[in-house]
Amino acid sequence: MQHQSSGYVNAIGTAVPAYSASQERAATFMADLLQFDERDRRRLMALYRYTRIEKRHSVMADYVRPFGEFTFFANTPGLEPFPTVSQRMGLYRQEAVPLALQAIRDCFQSYPDFDPQTITHLITVSCTGLYAPGPDIEIIEALGLPTTTQRLAINFMGCYGAFNGLKAANAIVRSEPDAKVLVVCVELCTIHFQKKTETDYLLSNALFADGSAAVLVEGRPRPEQSFRLRSFYCDLLPDGKSAMAWHVSDFGFEMTLTAEVPNHIQRGIGQLMERLLNQCNLTLDDIGQYALHPGGRRILEVIEEQLGITAEDDRHAYEILRQYGNMSSATVLFVLKEIWKELASGETELDVNRPNILSCAFGPGLTLESMVLEALVAEPELVEQYVTSESSSASGRVL
C-alpha cells in the first residue's frame, strides 16, 4: 500500500502580552466593577478559583492598574462611557500584529535551519478582531515576504479555528509538496470584556485571555522532530447551538457560554472520537498523548470521563489552562507546544507503539473539531527513509 502524503508541523511558536494578572486580581477587578455585595463577591471568587486558572495575560494595562489610572476604560463609576466596537477594534489593530510577530519569531527561533523567506503561504486565524487590509498583509510586510505570498484569513470560528488553519495548510502541502505554510493564530479576548452580571458573562470573563501562536507546516518532516498531520474530523451538535455563540454588539463581541456546553460535549465526544480514529485505523490504545483544548475545567473533565483517560494524561491542557487561561484558537497550539518541548527535551520518551496525539476543540455551532497527529522523533539520516517508505504500516514510528 503506497504511503499517503501528509503535512508536517515542523515548528511551533507562542507569545503572550506583557501584562498579566492573577486570577484573584481579575476576580477583584470584576467584583469591584459590578459593585457586588459580600455574598456575591464570595460566589464570584469561588467561580474564579474553580477554573484552575492562576493567571491570564492581556494587551490592556488596565487589568493590572488601580482604578483612576486606566488608559482604555473610563476612570468613572461603571466605566462609562463604555468602549464601543470601534474603540475595541482600534485596539485590536494596534496590538494584534505585534503579538503575532512575537509568536512568529518564537516559531522561527525554534527552527534555525529554516529560511523564513521561503514561505509560500500565510494563513491567519482570529475571532476577536477584523479589519482590511488586515493582519495578513501587515505580517507579510513585517517579514519582508514577497507580495505574491498566498494568503488565507480564517475568521470568527472561535476556539476551534486553529484546526481549520491546519486543515487548510495540510491540503496546500499535499497538493504542493514544496509549499511552506505559516499558520498564525492571534486572539485578544480581553478587549471584549463585558460588565454584565448574567452567568454567561461572568464565566466568560473568568476564562478568556490573550495570546498568539504560530506553526510552520511543510510537505516533508523536519529531521530532528515533527508532527505529522494524520487525520481530521468535524461534526456539529445542533442541539447545543444556543449554548455557545459569539455575536458583535454595540459594545464589543459578546460571548454566550452556558453551563450546558459540557453536557453537550459529553454526549457527542465519544462518537466524534470513534469516527476520527476509524479514519486512520486506530483505537484509543494507539494514543500516547492528548492535546485537548482547555475550554474550561469542566469540559476537560467530561472528555476525560468519556474517553476513560486521567488528568495526568491530560496534563498539558491543565498546565496551559493554569498558566494562561483560554486564549481561544491559539490555545490548542500552546498545548501542542508543551508536548513538543517535552519530547524534544527527552523528559518524556516517545512510546514507539503509541506515537499518536489526539486533539480536539469546540466552538459555536456547537462545533466539534478533532485531529490525530503523529509524533516523529528521528535521527537525521533516517528521515529520508521514512519519507520514501512504501509501507504505511511502518510510518510514523520513532525512526
**3-class DSSP state of 310:** coil
Q: Are 354 and 288 in contact (CB under 8 A)?
A: yes
Would residue 159 show up in a list of annotated catalytic residues for this protein? yes
C-alpha cell of 361? 476543540
* CA gap 320, 335 in Å, rounded: 6
341 contacts: CB under 8 Å, gap ≥ 6:
none
* CA gap 109, 97 in Å, rounded: 18
* CA gap 19, 25 in Å, rounded: 12
Among 159, 185, 189, 360, the active-site one is: 159
**3-class DSSP state of 332:** helix
Q: Are 212 and 19 in contact (CB under 8 A)?
A: no
C-alpha cell of 367? 462545533
* CA gap 363, 300 in Å, rounded: 14
* CA gap 40, 37 in Å, rounded: 6
> CA angle at residue 310 from 189 to 354, to 5 degrees?
95
* CA gap 349, 361 in Å, rounded: 26
Strands, E assignment, 264-306: 287-292
- CA dihedral for 349, 320, 292, 136, sign (positive or negative): negative
Q: Are 111 and 216 in contact (CB under 8 A)?
A: yes
Catalytic residues, by residue number, are: 159
